[in-house]
A and B are shown apart, each in its own frame.
Chain A
C-alpha cells in the first residue's frame, strides 16, 4: 500500500511544478532582467529593479505598509482576544450561536464589506450624517490612513478571534481548576496559565491578520482615495498602469521574502505541534 499510494501524489507534483514553481520562477526572472517583456530576446540580466526599490521613496511605501499592518494587527489582537475569551466562557448552548453570528461577516463578500465601510465613512456618508444630526462636527476620516486602518481591522478581526478561540477551547478545564486550587486568582490564572497556552492561537491570528494587511491593495485603494499607496498598490500599479513588469516583479519578490522572514520569526516563537507546518486554525 505504501509504495503504490505515493504515486497518487505524482500528478499533483507535476501540477505544482507548472502552476506554483514556474510562475514564481518567471517572476524572479523578470525581476532580474531589463528590457521589453514581450520580446524575450531583448531581455538582459540586471539588478536595477532591485536597486530602485532601495530608493527612499519606495522604502517609505514599504515602511508605511508595515506600519499600518502592525497597527491593525495590534488592534485586532487587543480587541479580539477579549472577544475570544468571553465567547469561550459563555454557556455551551449560546456558544455556537454566538460563534455563528461572529462568522457571518466573514462569509459576506470581502469587497462588499469594504464598500460598506466606504458608505459609512465618506464625507457625506452615514457617520457624518448622524454626527451632523446630533449637532457634532463632521469627521473627514475618509479617505486617509485612519480609514485604511479601520478597514483592515474591520475585515480581519474575525481572523484574529477564531484561532485564539480554538486555542482557548482546547485548554483542559482541569488545568484551570488545578490553578485555582493551588491558590491562583482569576488574573494570575489568566496570565500564567491561559495566556501561554493560547500562544499558538495568537501566533496564528497574528499571521492571518498581518499577512493580508501588509499586502492589500483593495483596502488602501478604496479607503485611501488614491493617496495612500501601500506595497500592494505599488505592485498593482506596475502591472496595470506603469507597464513596468520588471519593477513589479522585484517588488513582489521582496514582499514575498519579507513575509517569509516574518513567518519564520513567528514560528521560532511558537513550537510546532505536529500539524505539518500548517497554521493552526
Chain B
C-alpha cells in the first residue's frame, strides 16, 4: 500500500511539473502577436526580444474573417493584431479595441499623413498603419502573352484550370462587383446576386480558392493568373521571378490598409505599444518592408526602397500611379449587411 502511494505521489509530481514547466517563465512578459502569414520579418522579432527582453509569440491567420472569428470566439489573449481597414471599423464599433496611448509611440511621426485619420478610424485613436497596397492580378508573362488590363481575363476559358482566386470573401466578391461596374461595398441584393452568379460561372475555370498558397503556386508555374494583393507580387519579384507581373485592371480594384491594433484581450498594453513603436522605427520598418515585399506607410522607408531599386518606382505593385489609385475603392464595414455577403460566399463555395 505504501509503495502504491509513493509511486502515485511521484507520478503526480512528475505530471504536475511537466504541466507547469511550459508555463514556467511567467515572470517574463510574453507578447501574443496575431498576424497574416509571411507578413513580418522573423529577424525583427528576435531583434525586439533582444532589445526589450519581451518574448514574442507569433500566431498566424489567413484572412480578416478568420482573425475576427478567433477573436470573437474568446479564449485568446492576443496583444497585437493586424486587421484591415473595414475590419477595424467593425472592431471599434464592437468595442473590441483599446485606445492607443500615442505618447508611447513617438515613432508615429514617421508615418505619412495620407495614412492618418482615414475613414475607418477617423480620430486615429485605435490603429497604427502597418502596410498598404492594392488588389490586382498577378500573372505569369510567359504563360499569358496578352495585355492584362481587365478583370475579364480571370473568366477567360483560355486559361481554364490555371486561374487562382482568393479564398477571401470581400476580395473575391469585390472583383465580381467591379467587373459588373458596381462598388465593392455594394449592398443591393440583386446586384450581389449578379456578382454571385458571375463567380459561380467562373468556378469550373479556376484551379481553386487559396490565400497563402498563391505565391508558391505562381513561382512554381502551377497557374497563369491569380487574384492577389500587390505586396505578394513584390514578394515574388524579390524572389527573382521577374517574369511574374502585377496589374490593376481598368475597372478598378481595392485599396487597402493593414494596421496594428491592441484588442481588449491584451494583458500587456504597455508592451504592445512598445512593439508597435518598434515596428515604426524607420530602420526596422525598412527591414520589414524589404523582407515582406509590401509597401510601408513610413514615408522614408517607402522612398528609400525606391531609391535603392529604381525599377520598382514604376511598378503598380509597389508604387501605384495616381491613375490607378483613383480607380480604387477602400472597403467599408458592411454593418448589418454582413450576413448577406456571408450567405453569398457560402453559396459560391458550396456550388
Contact A237 B346 (CB under 8 A): yes
* Assembled-state Cα–Cα distance A237/B207 (Å): 20
Contact B342 A242 (CB under 8 A): yes
Contact B350 A58 (CB under 8 A): yes
* Assembled-state Cα–Cα distance A122/B203 (Å): 18
What 0/1 readout, one digit per residue, does chain A (122-156) give for beta carbons within 8 Å of chain B?
A: 11100000000000000010010000000000000
B347 partner, pick from A57, A227, A237, beta carbons under 8 A: A57
* Assembled-state Cα–Cα distance A58/B342 (Å): 14
- Stretch of B61-69, B186-194, B326-334 that contacts chain A: B61-69
Q: Give the number of chain B interface residues (Cβ < 8 Å).
A: 27
Contact B208 A229 (CB under 8 A): no
Contact B208 A225 (CB under 8 A): yes
Q: Which residues of B contact A242 (CB under 8 A)?
A: 65, 69, 342, 346
Contact A227 B208 (CB under 8 A): yes
Known: A226-B167, A240-B70. A123 touches B208 (CB 8 A): no
Which A-chain residue is minimally distant from B339 (CB atoms)? A244
Q: Which residues of A contact B347 (CB under 8 A)?
A: 57
Contact A227 B203 (CB under 8 A): yes
A243 partner, pick from B69, B223, B350, beta carbons under 8 A: B69
* Assembled-state Cα–Cα distance A188/B257 (Å): 73
Contact B208 A143 (CB under 8 A): yes
Which B-chain residue is minimally distant from A242 (CB atoms)? B342
Contact A123 B222 (CB under 8 A): yes
Task: Please tell me if B21 contacts chain A, counting CB pairs below 8 Å.
Answer: no
Which A-chain residue is minimally distant from B347 (CB atoms)? A57
Q: Which residues of A contact B203 (CB under 8 A)?
A: 227
Which A-chain residue is minimally distant from B206 (CB atoms)? A227
Task: Tell me, rounded to whole Å, the shortest Cβ–Cβ distance linking B307 to chain A.
Answer: 37
* Assembled-state Cα–Cα distance A149/B351 (Å): 18
A244 partner, pick from B66, B342, B349, B350, beta carbons under 8 A: B342
Contact A243 B209 (CB under 8 A): no
Contact B69 A225 (CB under 8 A): no
Of the four ranges (under 10, 10 to 19, 20 to 34, 35 or more), the interface on chain A belongs to 20 to 34
Task: Tell me, rounded to whole Å, the shortest Cβ–Cβ distance linking A27 to chain B.
Answer: 14
Q: Which residues of A contact B206 (CB under 8 A)?
A: 227
Contact A241 B65 (CB under 8 A): yes
B74 partner, pick from A38, A57, A227, A244, beta carbons under 8 A: A38
Task: Please tell me if B98 contacts chain A, counting CB pairs below 8 Å.
Answer: no
Q: Which residues of A contact B207 (CB under 8 A)?
A: 123, 143, 225
Task: Tell me, rounded to whole Å, the shortest Cβ–Cβ distance linking A235 to chain B.
Answer: 12
Contact B222 A239 (CB under 8 A): no
Task: Please tell me if B210 contacts chain A, counting CB pairs below 8 Å.
Answer: yes
* Assembled-state Cα–Cα distance A234/B349 (Å): 10
Contact B65 A225 (CB under 8 A): no
Contact B208 A224 (CB under 8 A): yes
Task: Please tell me if A61 contacts chain B, counting CB pairs below 8 Å.
Answer: yes
Which B-chain residue is minimally distant from A52 (CB atoms)? B343
Task: Please tell me if A60 contacts chain B, counting CB pairs below 8 Å.
Answer: yes
Q: Which of B72, B207, B349, B350 has the most CB atoms of chain A within a 10 A radius of its CB? A: B350
* Assembled-state Cα–Cα distance A123/B206 (Å): 13
Task: Tell me, rounded to whole Å, the shortest Cβ–Cβ distance linking A15 to chain B.
Answer: 16
Contact B210 A140 (CB under 8 A): no
* Assembled-state Cα–Cα distance A242/B222 (Å): 29
Q: Which residues of B contact A61 (CB under 8 A)?
A: 350
12 A–B contacts from the bound complex (CB under 8 Å): A58-B350, A124-B221, A143-B207, A225-B209, A226-B167, A226-B210, A227-B209, A229-B350, A234-B346, A240-B70, A242-B342, A243-B72
Give A residues with C-beta under 8 Å from B. Answer: 38, 57-58, 60-61, 122-124, 140, 143, 224-227, 229, 234, 237, 239-244
> Which A-B residue pairs are the 6 nearest by beta carbons?
A225-B208, A226-B209, A123-B222, A241-B65, A243-B69, A143-B208
Give B residues with C-beta under 8 Å from A. Answer: 63, 65-66, 68-70, 72-74, 161, 167, 203, 206-210, 220-223, 342, 346-347, 349-351
